[in-house]
Amino acid sequence: MSTTGLQPTRSFQDLILTLHQYWAAYGCVILQPYDMEVGAGTFHPATTLRSVGSKPWKAAYVQPSRRPGDGRYGENPNRVQQHHQYQVILKPSPIDLQDLYLGSLKAIGIDFDHHDIRFVEDDWESPTLGAWGLGWEVWCDGMEVSQFTYFQQVGGLECQPVSGELTYGLERLAMYVQGVDSIYDLNFNGAEGDQKMTYGDVFLQSEQEHSRYNFEQANTKMLFAHFTDAETECKSILDAGKTDGRHLMALPAYDQCIKASHIFNLLDARGVISVTERQSYILRVRELAKGCCEAWAKTAGGGYQEGKND
Amino acid sequence: MSELLIELFSEEIPARMQSRASEDLRNLVCNGLEKAGLAIGTAKAFVTPRRLTVVVEDIPATTPDIVDERKGPRTDAPERAIEGFLKSAGVTLDDCITGEDKKGQFYIARIEKPGKPTTEILAELIPEIIQKFPWPKSMRWGTGSLRWVRPLHSIICILDGQPVEFEIAGIKSGNQTIGHRFMGPDTITVSSFGQYKTALADQFVMLDAGERISFIQSEAEKLAKSSSLQLIDDQGLLKEVSGLVEWPVVLMGEFDASFLEVPPEVVVTTIKAHQKCFCLKDADGKLANKYLLVSNMIARDGGKKIIEGNNRVIAARLSDAKFFWDQDKKTPLENRLPELKKITFHARLGSQRKRVKRLEKLSTDIARIIGANEEKTRLAARLCKADLVTGMVSELPELQGLMGKYYALAEGLDNDVAIALGDHYKPQGPSDAVPQNLIAQTVSLADKIDTLAGFWAMDEKPTGSKDPYALRRAALGIIRIIEENSLRLPLLKILDDQIAASPGLTDDEADSKAIARDLLSFFADRLKVHLRDRGMRHDLIDAVFGLGDQDDLLMIIKRVQALGEFLDTDDGKNLLAGVKRAVNILRIEEKKDGQKHDGNPLPNLLVLGEEKELHRAVTAAMAQTINAVKTEDFASAMTALARLRKPVDEFFDKVTVNADDPNFRDNRLKLLNRIREATLSVADFSRIEG
């Protein structure tokens, strides 16, 4: 047991709390998950928008991430339609980012005398966000435990300064440090006996129900309409928020962009988007993301200063 | 003479970029030094995941002194002009010598430039190299604007043991580095390459990639042998893995033997593609349920936990693969066809479903021509893309084709059909074998012909180095399948039909036959490259294509071969000269006269023995070559032509073509035309060089 009383190798929630402590000690703001459905922690405005513009930023948070196509009705030990990402965003990226990251692995109980940690090339690109970066997937004994990315462009805008993004796949990491082969066997609360709650106790039913919904029930006709609604709303917010100087509604516009992106994922999982249409949907979401990032660059959070930037 | 050592230490460099980068660095450093006037010794490049290193021997301490001479005004020029010249050259009159030309004497300023210290050269050169380094992909980090493959942390630059100081993007050059990330984090102070290499080895860094490769190879073989197994050789994987570690440690892991029910290629690909591990086989060549991983750590427990971890990941990967294998087998390939609608082959060429329909027809047509079983061929063509929509191929696209074969066998389809599904992408490169089975050959030809026809119909042809759809490879594949299996396939009509029917042909006015001819000339170009690799002359191929509408690749190759052999003989060389002479004379005279001299020479106008003999020989040779070509006996055709050599030589020796009597002249020109015609049944000799 560590001095904090947390047991990251025995409890899913202690793993999260340990990371919170570690990154809080480094000076990150510890945020809550964004309250919308997203496919990855990167979509949280604390990453997408905050990586645009000149203002420094340090944040860490957990983001439940939905991948409707990965649902397996709770029957596959590794694949789920919703998993949790631990996301750290540091802007500008510190020169010792790799060491900081390794320090966090040590904090959650991975000892480097017995494990093989490797940085394997993995360039990151999000066509829907108009974003790309270079980095690695981090392997621990052959298993990918994190994504490590230096953002170069977001929403079509050059990142200046560059943000460093760390994304930990929490379930995988927990399975690894707890030594279990099925996600559902993870000890969630660290208790034993009848007090013990497993990941299955918490999420199995959700996996089953959402898989049913995603693959069989989702009303695709309605979803197509929702997509268009979100797209229209995003554009009109972007228009309405525009002034000669700062933009007044970048964040609400971005919410609609998130929505459109997620609906696209749902439709894609249902296999109702053809290959050619797929590209055009991606482009439509990217246009929204681009508009939102450009708007954000004209807000205080994006480093905009009235009178100075024009 | 000094030794130069440079190390650029960064975060992990992608394995695939490493060797190229180290060579680039060596070349840039060497070129830079040589350009500065330094004569340098041997240069060597090294690379690990975290460092690019170059060592150059025998570097002089300074660049040589140089004297620039600049021509000035005439010695009797006005004083002010001379002063101006001296000022601009930065010399006094004492530094000048005089030269002389037609106009008289003039001054030459001798501007002495003493050699520069090599350290100064380096302090400018290295930052410049870093700034302009040709990474295939580079990035910025933090607040800086320097681009490197990943963040650059430190720079060693020492000359003769002394640090050469410069600064780039806040990084000061020096003489320090560190060892292995986990096992050798201590600072190393460097004074020479030898000491550097040893110190790194002490800190668990094997600097030389070649050394890491041979170490991994021999350790792997040793470990395999200890379990009575053999390493499945994979040089590409070996090279990649050597770029992921600074200190390789080979360990053996295993997986449940029940996974061996899955086709072995699936197991090997899963383990290799996802986990970068080596597979092993037993004495009978059968895949073993053990594998080798290369770690970057000497773990305290001897690697027990590392092996456990890797075993677990591989088990999860293999159970995914087994799941796909079991799932996929439940749906017959035939039932998957509607799903092919979802896969776009190319935006303008439609879906894979449409393509398969075209392939069915085309394959059956080809089968009819080359004598493959039409029913089986049609079925193979129909199912050849069905595996694209299986779970396994979606997950591991490199298994396309092969999975089609396995699923076909699993559902009890005909063996030849299954083989065709597996082999129809072949050959996938110059070193890949062509399909052995006739049905596979047929479907492979159809697959490639349809692709080429489609892109030609859209007018999207390869240009320069750009060939994103590998159309050159497809054409070469067709050539090789036809040649290596001696297939007779007249291409022009097939190409024409396929282009005419292609959805890529949107212009109603387009002339499919002209497009087909253009595509055929693309084949001619590929054939030239293909035969040139075997030492065959490209002009011979032109000479054969020059006959027009030559579209039977096998016959073209045979003709070219026979022609090449013939032209290597004395008879061939002399006849070629004779034919060329005849053709030249004809061209000039026909131009002069504004009329052709064709038709048969009149026997009563043949007066000299040599022209009578030539007439007789040409008539005989023509009949023989035409007959020989008809039976595709090109060697005999050449032999018949060879008999023309002597009469042609003697004709040119003794007979004046441009006789005073216009009737004789016309008749002799007609005779020359007959020589050309006789050779034209074999090749267009005028296109042969030499």
pLDDT at A184: 97
CATH of the domain at A242: 1.20.58.180
Interatomic CA distance for residues B609 and B311, integer angstroms:
91
- Asked if A141 and B305 come within 8 Å (Cβ–Cβ), the reply is yes
- Same domain? For A206 and A255 the reply is no
A275 — pLDDT class (breaks 50, 70, 90): low
Q: Using a CB–CB cutoff of 8 Å, tell me whether A278 touches chain B.
A: no
Interatomic CA distance for residues A162 and A53, integer angstroms:
10
- Boundary (domain end) residue, out of A213, A247, A265: A213
Q: Which of A92, A112, A133 sits opposite B142 (nearest CB)?
A: A92
How is residue B547 written in tokens? Answer: 């006959």
pLDDT at A1: 44
How much is the pTM? 0.80
Q: Which of B11, B305, B309 sits opposite A98 (nearest CB)?
A: B11
- Asked if A142 and B310 come within 8 Å (Cβ–Cβ), the reply is yes
Distances (CA, A) of A258 to A37, A40, B189, B404: 8, 11, 52, 39
CATH number of B334-522: 1.10.3210
Half-sphere exposure of B353 (CA within 13 A, CB side): 11
Q: Using a CB–CB cutoff of 8 Å, tell me whether A132 touches chain B.
A: no
CATH architecture, domain defined by B563-687 = Orthogonal Bundle (1.10)
Q: What is the mean pLDDT of residues A267-280?
A: 75
B chain contacts of residue A276, beta-carbon cutoff 8 Å: 344, 347
Cβ contacts of residue A49 below 8 Å, gap of 6+?
Answer: A250, A251, A254, A292, A293, A296, A301, A302
Q: Which residue matches tokens 């510890």? A: A30
Distance from B591 to chain A by nearest Cα, in Å?
59
Interatomic CA distance for residues B206 and B209, integer angstroms:
7
Report the residue of chain B nearest A134, measured CA to CA.
B139
pLDDT at B660: 87
3-state secondary structure B21-70: HHHHHHHHHHHHHHHCCCCCCCEEEEEECCEEEEEEEEECCECCCEEEEE
Q: Which of A140, A141, A275 sits opposite B344 (nearest CB)?
A: A275
| Strand-pair category, B171-174 with B152-159 | parallel
- Same domain? For A228 and A104 the reply is no
| Domain assignment present for A301 | no
R_g of chain B computed on alpha carbons: 36
pLDDT at B483: 93
Size of interface A-B (CB pairs under 8 A): 110
Q: Using a CB–CB cutoff of 8 Å, tell me whether A254 touches chain B.
A: no
- Same domain? For A52 and A180 the reply is yes
| Domain assignment present for A250 | yes
Chain B interface disruption, residue of A116, A153, A172, A283, most B CBs within 10 A: A116
- Tell me the three state secondary structure of residue B134: coil
Amino acid occupying residue B688? I
- Same domain? For A190 and A233 the reply is no
Q: Which of A76, A92, A116 sits opposite B143 (nearest CB)?
A: A92
| Domain assignment present for A248 | yes
**Statement: residue A310 has pLDDT above 50:** no
CATH of the domain at A17: 3.30.930.10
Q: Which of A123, A141, A159 sits opposite B309 (nearest CB)?
A: A141
Half-sphere exposure of B370 (CA within 13 A, CB side): 29
- Same domain? For A242 and A175 the reply is no
Q: Which of B16, B306, B342 sits opposite A275 (nearest CB)?
A: B342
Calculated CA dihedral for residues B114, B119, B124, B127, nearest 10 degrees: 170
pLDDT at B594: 85
- Asked if B300 and A98 come within 8 Å (Cβ–Cβ), the reply is no
- Same domain? For A163 and A37 the reply is yes
| Domain assignment present for A303 | no
Task: Map out the domains of chain B as residue ranges.
Answer: 2-62+117-202, 67-113, 209-328, 334-522, 563-687
- Same domain? For A28 and A139 the reply is yes
What's the pLDDT tens digit per position in B34-45?
999 999 999 999
Closest CA to A239 of A295, A289, A180: A295
Distance from B338 to chain A by nearest Cα, in Å?
13
B185 — pLDDT class (breaks 50, 70, 90): confident
Per the structure, the complete domain to which residue A287 belongs is given by 219-296
Q: What is the mean pLDDT of residues B561-586?
A: 87
- Whether the CB-CB separation of B155 and B133 falls below 8 Å is answered with no
Q: What angle do CA A117, A121, A127 make, to 5 degrees?
A: 130
- Same domain? For A21 and A118 the reply is yes
- Tell me the three state secondary structure of residue B503: coil
Q: What is the mean pLDDT of residues B236-252?
A: 96
Q: What is the mean pLDDT of residues A150-165?
A: 96
- Asked if A161 and B137 come within 8 Å (Cβ–Cβ), the reply is no
Interatomic CA distance for residues B482 and B661, integer angstroms:
54
- Asked if A142 and B342 come within 8 Å (Cβ–Cβ), the reply is no
Closest CA to A165 of A157, A154, A173: A154
- Whether the CB-CB separation of B234 and B224 falls below 8 Å is answered with no
Q: What is the distance, to the nearest Å, from the Cα of residue B588 to the centroid of all Cα atoms in its chain?
A: 44
Interatomic CA distance for residues B650 and B673, integer angstroms:
17
Q: What is the mean pLDDT of residues B285-313?
A: 95
A79 — pLDDT class (breaks 50, 70, 90): confident
**DSSP track, B383-436:** HTTGGGGSHHHHH-GGGTTHHHHHHHHHTT--HHHHHHHHHTT---STTSPPP-
How is residue B365 written in tokens? Answer: 């047509």
Chain A interface disruption, residue of B10, B12, B314, most A CBs within 10 A: B12
- Same domain? For A99 and A155 the reply is yes
Q: Which of B11, B297, B347 sits opposite A116 (nearest CB)?
A: B297
Q: Which residue matches tokens 């197994």? A: B229
- Asked if A161 and B49 come within 8 Å (Cβ–Cβ), the reply is no
Q: Which residue matches tokens 């002389």? A: B100
- Whether the CB-CB separation of A63 and A41 falls below 8 Å is answered with yes
- Asked if A161 and B142 come within 8 Å (Cβ–Cβ), the reply is yes
The H or E element that residue B162 is part of is strand B162-163
**Statement: residue A108 has pLDDT above 80:** yes
Q: Which of B11, B149, B299 sits opposite A113 (nearest CB)?
A: B299
Mean pLDDT of chain B: 92
pLDDT at A4: 65
Q: Using a CB–CB cutoff of 8 Å, tell me whether B391 touches chain A.
A: no
| Domain assignment present for A6 | no
Q: Using a CB–CB cutoff of 8 Å, tell me whether A195 touches chain B.
A: no
**Cis amide bond preceding B427, omega within 30:** yes
- Asked if B342 and A93 come within 8 Å (Cβ–Cβ), the reply is no
pLDDT at B574: 85
Which fold would CATH assign to domain B2-62+117-202?
A: Alpha-Beta Plaits (3.30.70)
| Domain assignment present for A135 | yes
What's the pLDDT tens digit per position in B204-215?
999 999 999 999
Q: Which of A123, A143, A161 sits opposite B309 (nearest CB)?
A: A143
Distances (CA, A) of B238 to A71, A135, B214, B559: 36, 22, 9, 44
Q: Residue B175 has what DSSP assignment?
A: S
Range among B4-18, B112-126, B651-665 rated most confident: B4-18
- Same domain? For A181 and A291 the reply is no
- Boundary (domain end) residue, out of A181, A213, A245: A213
**Statement: residue A92 has pLDDT above 50:** yes
φ/ψ region of B197 (left if φ > 0, alpha if ψ in -120 to 50, else beta) reads alpha
- Same domain? For A198 and A272 the reply is no
Least confident of A96-100, A134-138, B62-66, B597-601: B597-601
Q: Using a CB–CB cutoff of 8 Å, tell me whether A114 touches chain B.
A: yes
**Statement: residue A216 has pLDDT above 90:** no
- Asked if A271 and B14 come within 8 Å (Cβ–Cβ), the reply is no
A chain contacts of residue B342, beta-carbon cutoff 8 Å: 271, 274-275
Distance from A113 to chain B by nearest Cα, in Å?
5
What's the pLDDT tens digit per position in B407-442?
999 999 999 999 999 999 999 888 899 999 999 999
- Same domain? For A189 and A50 the reply is yes
**DSSP track, B182-221:** TT--SEEE-SSHHHHHHHHHHTT----HHHHHHHHHHHHH
**Statement: residue B563 has pLDDT above 70:** yes
How is residue B505 written in tokens? Answer: 């042909």
Interatomic CA distance for residues B160 and B192, integer angstroms:
7
Half-sphere exposure of B121 (CA within 13 A, CB side): 22
| Strand-pair category, A57-66 with A29-30 | parallel
**Statement: residue B470 has pLDDT above 60:** yes
Q: What is the mean pLDDT of residues A165-176?
A: 95
Q: Using a CB–CB cutoff of 8 Å, tell me whether A276 touches chain B.
A: yes
pLDDT at B379: 97
Interatomic CA distance for residues B136 and B17, integer angstroms:
8
Interatomic CA distance for residues B554 and B480, integer angstroms:
10
Q: Which of B15, B305, B347 sits opposite A114 (nearest CB)?
A: B305
- Asked if A142 and B314 come within 8 Å (Cβ–Cβ), the reply is yes
- Whether the CB-CB separation of A152 and B140 falls below 8 Å is answered with yes
- Asked if B296 and A150 come within 8 Å (Cβ–Cβ), the reply is no
pLDDT at B579: 87
Chain A interface disruption, residue of B312, B323, B349, most A CBs within 10 A: B312
Hey, which bits of chain A come out as E strands? Answer: 29-30, 57-66, 82-91, 117-121, 124-126, 131-140, 143-154, 157-158, 164-169
- Whether the CB-CB separation of A295 and A249 falls below 8 Å is answered with yes
Per the DSSP assignment, residues forming a β-bridge with B59 are B2
| Strand-pair category, B51-59 with B96-101 | unpaired
Interatomic CA distance for residues A158 and A130, integer angstroms:
11
Q: Looking at the predicted complex, does its ipTM rise above 0.90?
A: yes
Report the residue of chain B nearest A145, measured CA to CA.
B313
Q: What is the mean pLDDT of residues A196-221?
A: 92
Q: Using a CB–CB cutoff of 8 Å, tell me whether B503 touches chain A.
A: no
Domain count, chain A: 2
For helices A170-178 and A12-25, the axis angle rounded to 10 degrees is 110
**What is the number of residues in chain A?**
310
- Boundary (domain end) residue, out of A173, A198, A213: A213
Q: What is the distance, to the nearest Å, from the Cα of residue A264 to the centroid of all Cα atoms in its chain?
A: 17
**Statement: residue B372 has pLDDT above 70:** yes
- Asked if B16 and A121 come within 8 Å (Cβ–Cβ), the reply is yes
- Asked if A116 and B150 come within 8 Å (Cβ–Cβ), the reply is no
Neighbours of B597 (CB within 10 A): 18
**Statement: residue B360 has pLDDT above 70:** yes
Least confident of B30-39, B319-328, B345-354, B356-365: B345-354
Q: What is the mean pLDDT of residues A111-127?
A: 93
B residues 277-306 lying closer than 8 A (beta carbon) to A: 277, 293, 295-297, 299-301, 304-306
> Do B2-62+117-202 and B334-522 share a fold?
no
Q: Using a CB–CB cutoff of 8 Å, tell me whether B140 touches chain A.
A: yes
What's the pLDDT tens digit per position in B575-588?
888 888 888 888 89
A chain contacts of residue B353, beta-carbon cutoff 8 Å: none
- Asked if B344 and A276 come within 8 Å (Cβ–Cβ), the reply is yes
Distance from B216 to chain A by nearest Cα, in Å?
16
- Asked if A93 and B150 come within 8 Å (Cβ–Cβ), the reply is no
Distance from B501 to chain A by nearest Cα, in Å?
22
- Asked if A134 and B312 come within 8 Å (Cβ–Cβ), the reply is no
